[in-house]
Amino acid sequence: MLLELYSGVLRKRKLTPGLASLVALVAEAGCGLHWAAASVRDTVFLHKGENTLEVLLTAEQISRRVTELAAEIDAHFAGRRPHLVCILKGACVFLADLMRALTVESSLDFMGVSSYDGGSAASGEVRITKDLDHSLEGLDVLLVEDIVDTGLTLNYLRQMLLRRNPASLKVAALLDKPSRRVQPVVLDFVGFEVPDRFLVGYGLDFEQRYRHLPDLCLLPEAAA
């Protein structure tokens, strides 16, 4: 089935499978721990342009986890209407899937933030490129992030949003990279813990590339 799935993906995207290296899905550890480090033996390889991207999490794995996260968020916000604040740009794909997986009604706003200066190095500088359109006063806010790395962006945003007097503020992050943490953060809903590698796909970019990929992939270390 996996072979068929990826044959389809490769055909559609005009990608070549290289050494026909279509292998198994990344293992999910037991006990509810979603650790995406997995092992290289359990990866799928795509060849796209000059970079060979290893798939860390398939679209199917992500979809399953997003459904689980939505159930947790539904339970937390039962009887209330969360106001989703999507942090652009990387979180837009996660946001779109999460919002549709929720059964509670939600409202939505976007904030543009840039913390990395073009490439992969965290500058520590958080820049607001687009502010929210609506007031947060009295709302149950759910901040939606794609990845938390150093924690600098999230802590900056949390403090800024709390000053706008929401009724509550929770954070949902699809990916957590705790090995890179500079500041401790509070994450209420987390999809996967990921290794200290540069990640692309499912909204995440490298120099604005690869956001469109349905899988979450590892950029070769030489390219990052």
On whether the CB atoms of residues 75 and 124 are closer than 8 A, the answer is: no
Token pair, residue 10, equals 């490769």
The residue among 205 and 215 lying less far from ligand PRP, judged by its C-beta, is 205
Q: How far is the CB of 175 from ligand PRP (least distance, A)?
A: 9
Contact pattern for ligand PRP over residues 66 through 105, marking x by CB under 6 A: ---------------------xxxxx--------------
**Binding residues for ligand PRP restricted to 101-160, rule: CB under 6 A:** 113-116, 122, 145-154
- The distance from CA 190 to its chain's CA centroid, rounded to whole angstroms, is 9
Q: How far is the CB of 121 from ligand PRP (least distance, A)?
A: 10
Active site annotation includes 149: yes
Q: Which amino acid type is present at position 131?
A: D
- The DSSP letter of residue 40 is G
Q: How far is the CB of 110 from ligand PRP (least distance, A)?
A: 11
- How many of the chain's residues bind ligand PRP (CB under 6 A)? 21
As a whole number of Å, the CA-based R_g of the chain is 18
Going by C-alpha positions, the residue among 42, 78, 48, 79 that lies closest to residue 61 is 42
Q: Is 166 in the site for ligand PRP (CB under 6 A)?
A: no
Question: Which of 97, 140, 176, 205 forms a contact with ligand PRP (CB under 6 A)?
Answer: 205
Tell me which of 97, 146, 149, 215 is the catalytic residue. 149
Q: How far is the CB of 199 from ligand PRP (least distance, A)?
A: 10
On whether the CB atoms of residues 213 and 183 are closer than 8 A, the answer is: no
Angle (CA) 197-200-204 rounded to 5° is 115
On whether the CB atoms of residues 220 and 52 are closer than 8 A, the answer is: yes
Residues that bind ligand PRP (CB under 6 A): 87-91, 113-116, 122, 145-154, 205
Active site residues: 149
